[in-house]
Amino acid sequence: MIARLWHGHTRPDDADAYERLLREEIFRGIASRAIPGYRGIELFRRPAGEEVEFVTLMRFGGVR
């Protein structure tokens, strides 16, 4: 299993729109590419001081 982590930050006022962009456009675009071994992507969100932090975890399995 391979896992890829990505971190992003945004202002609290932009956080809901940013999450929508990730879920509705970015994640769907990745899934539609049918990348060999792609097993899914998860999104984590938390307040981080004066920003909101986003972490994505994308998983890949072996391709045979």
Q: Give the pTM.
A: 0.82
Please report, for residues 23, 26, 27, 36, the alpha-carbon distance to residue 33 in angstroms, rounded to integers and kept in the order given.
15, 11, 10, 9
pLDDT of 1: 85
Sign of CA dihedral 22, 28, 31, 32: negative
**Is the separation of the CB atoms in 10 and 20 below 8 Å?**
no
Q: Cα 16 to chain center, whole Å?
A: 14
Q: How far apart are CA 9 and CA 63, in angstroms?
A: 33
pLDDT 10s digits, 4-63: 999 999 999 999 999 999 999 999 999 999 889 999 999 999 999 999 999 999 999 976
